Structure 1
Amino acid sequence: MNEQQANKWRKTRTMGKAKYVMYYGVLLWGVLLTAIFTGLELLTQSVYNVSWMYIRLAVFGSVGFFIANFRWESREKRFQSR
């Protein structure tokens, strides 16, 4: 991790792990992937199924939680080892 990355991470880590995981994982990954897959469903099948949207939101939100949690731990480890 170079000094520019360290400064950016120093600023980002002030939000705390819980807020970081919620914002970047659950909201960003979850909502973004749900919107993409729901849009693909609408384009390919010309049908919009609300129940599938809720299922996607739960699944992609959970996946995003784990991705953001892993990224936080990885960046913290890199930040501490520099």
Structure 2
Amino acid sequence: MENLELFKEMINYLIIPLFVWVWRTDRKLKEIELTTIKHQDLKDIYKILDEIKKDIHSLNDKFVTPKICDFRHKTN
């Protein structure tokens, strides 16, 4: 009988710290997942940046002509 009680106490001393450790580890992993950037996120960001770059180039093509950029032409 004493052995059974001793065994129950040992289990309690092991289970509670184990549970707390698992809980803390899980919380830390969730925090890390929230702060990391995934590969798909980077793909989406680069896709948006490419679209912005194309828009800027199209605007430059509309408003900037080669003659405006050429400062060597004569202004008589």
TM-score range, shorter chain: 0.3 to 0.5
TM-score (norm 2): 0.38
Give 1 or 2: higher helix fraction.
1
Structure number with larger C-alpha Rg: 2
- The TM-score, its normalising length taken from structure 1, stands at 0.35
